[in-house]
Structure 1
Amino acid sequence: MQIPVAKKVYFSSDNHLGAPTNEASKPRELKFVKWLDEVKEDAAAIFLLGDLFDFWFEYKHVVPKGFVRVLGKLAEIRDSGIPVYFFVGNHDLWMNDYFEKELDIPVYHRPKEFSFNNKKFLIGHGDGLGPGDKGYKRMKKVFTNPFSQWLYRWLHPDLGVPLAKHLSVKNKLISGDEDAKFLGEENEWLVQYAKRKLETQHYDYFIFGHRHLPMSINVGENSTYHNLGDWINYYTYGVFDGETFELKEYK
């Protein structure tokens, strides 16, 4: 994609709307909607890198209620012709085709390459990548197993949704974000993942979420890893203006 003059590509991750309750997260939702309303003015594309919701599970005819403001704003942005891309996170990995059918937003379940102005990006949520995190990786295999999801759908939504929300808030293993502090480059799994990827292919930028910490780390010659932070404590996002990538705070 060639970014038109005066246009930008925006990146956001880890809103966790609905946590700890829909009512408590409403101010954060309103703030995020305001951000979307502002960036749509010069956005060439918008990337949402997962955990937009603290819990999301698609039954055949049911999705969790709430979040109408952010869903409506995303629909408006897509209807205006601005591309929006969604990468599932570890809290909304049960997303199927609702976004694609209702909002015309493609959904990705693993990292994907993009090119903007001849700069190569590898973009994803970031959960389960790199060395370590073995407990969550085992848990993720269970969560993403089609048979496990089929079994869960037999729970009535009035039981299944509150149960999953409770586990999502309380269980650190499910959350995958129990170490919300910088661990050092050698212990940051996504940093190690990026360095390993560079052994076989060059990327100018690695853009991930999941860690809830805004950070920018050089991982190779002309290659940088950026974590987008979150919309709980930092309200940070990424922007690429066609030449450089920058992390910013929304106030």
Structure 2
Amino acid sequence: MEIPEGKKIYFSSDNHLGAPTQELSKPRERKFLQWLDMVRDDAAAIFLLGDLFDFWFEYKTVVPKGQVRVLGKLAELRDSGIPIYFFVGNHDLWMFGYFEEELGIPVYHEPKVFDFNGKKFLIGHGDGKGPGDKGYKRMKKVFTSPFFQWCFRWIHPDLGVKLARHLSVKNKLISGDEDAIFLGEEKEWLAQYAKRKLEKNSIDYFIFGHRHLPMEIKLTDTSTYFNLGDWISHYSYGVYDENGFLIKSFEKS
């Protein structure tokens, strides 16, 4: 992808809309809508790196109630010609075609390499990557199994969505508090994942979410790992243009 002069690529992750309740997440939703209105003026593309929703499951004829303004805004931006790319997170991994069919937004379930003006980016949510986190990796295998998904579909949406949202908010990262602390470069699993990727691939930028902590780690002279943070505590996002990649904080309310 060639970025036109004066245009930028924007990145956002970990909004967790709907947590801890639909009502309490509305201020964050409004702020995110303001951000989308801001970036539309010079966006060459928008990348959403997962956990946009605190819970999402697509039944064959039903999607979860709520966040209709965000869905409408994304549809509006796509209809205006702005490319949008979505990478599922661990909270909204059950996407089976709704975004593609209704919004025209491609959805990715694994990290993917993109080339922007000759620079290579590896982009993804980041859950389950790198060493450690073995408990979650086992759980993810269950969540992504066709049999588990088939079983969950048989639960009435009123019960299934309520149960899933209750379990979801038990995750301490939703609060964006003491768990979202810098562990040191050697203990940041996504940084270690990036270093291993560099052993076989030349990547200029690794862009991930999931950690709820804005972060920049220089891996080599030519490669850097960035974490986008979240829209719970930091309201942070990434932007790339001819000057490079930056993490910024959105302040409008």
Q: 1:171 to 1:39 in 2, by over 3 A?
A: closer
Write the deviation string for residues 121-158 of structure 1: whole angstroms up to 9, x where unpaired: 00000000000000000000000001100000000001
Establish whether residue 106 from structure 1 lines up as the match of residue 129 from structure 2: no
Give the TM-score of the pair, scaled to structure 1.
0.97
Match of residue 61 from structure 1: 61
Contact 1:136 1:173 in 2 (8 A): no
Contact 2:173 2:212 in 1 (8 A): no
Q: Structure 2 stretches of 5 or more lacking a match?
A: none
Amino acid at match of 2:152: Y
| C-alpha deviation, 1:36, in angstroms | 0.2
Amino acid at match of 2:115: S
- What SS does the aligned partner of 1:170 have? coil
Q: Structure 1 stretches of 5 or more lacking a match?
A: none
The 2-side partners of 1:208 and 1:224 are apart by: 11
Contact 2:173 2:180 in 1 (8 A): no
Match of residue 92 from structure 2: 92
Match of residue 198 from structure 1: 198
How many residue pairs align between the two structures?
A: 250
- What SS does the aligned partner of 1:186 have? helix
Contact 2:17 2:29 in 1 (8 A): yes
Write the deviation string for residues 64-86 of structure 1: whole angstroms up to 9, x where unpaired: 01101111110000000000000
Q: 1:5 to 1:63 in 2, by over 3 A?
A: same
Q: What are the equivalent positions in structure 2 for 1:1-251 lying under 5 Å apart?
A: 1-171=1-171, 179-251=179-251
Identity %: 77
Contact 1:215 1:227 in 2 (8 A): yes
- What SS does the aligned partner of 1:225 have? strand
Contact 1:87 1:109 in 2 (8 A): yes
Amino acid at match of 2:34: K
- What SS does the aligned partner of 1:165 have? helix
The 2-side partners of 1:178 and 1:73 are apart by: 33
Contact 1:122 1:207 in 2 (8 A): yes
Amino acid at match of 2:107: V
- What SS does the aligned partner of 1:61 have? coil
Contact 1:198 1:220 in 2 (8 A): no
Amino acid at match of 1:15: N
The 1-side partners of 2:153 and 2:242 are apart by: 44
- What SS does the aligned partner of 2:219 have? strand
Write the deviation string for residues 78-108 of structure 1: whole angstroms up to 9, x where unpaired: 0000000000000000111000000000000
Contact 1:56 1:94 in 2 (8 A): yes
Write the deviation string for residues 103-124 of structure 1: whole angstroms up to 9, x where unpaired: 0000000000000000000000
The 2-side partners of 1:171 and 1:241 are apart by: 35
- What SS does the aligned partner of 2:127 have? coil
Write the deviation string for residues 154-174 of structure 1: whole angstroms up to 9, x where unpaired: 000011000000000114599
| C-alpha deviation, 1:26, in angstroms | 0.4
Amino acid at match of 1:116: F
Contact 1:45 1:83 in 2 (8 A): yes
The 2-side partners of 1:140 and 1:37 are apart by: 34
- What SS does the aligned partner of 2:121 have? strand
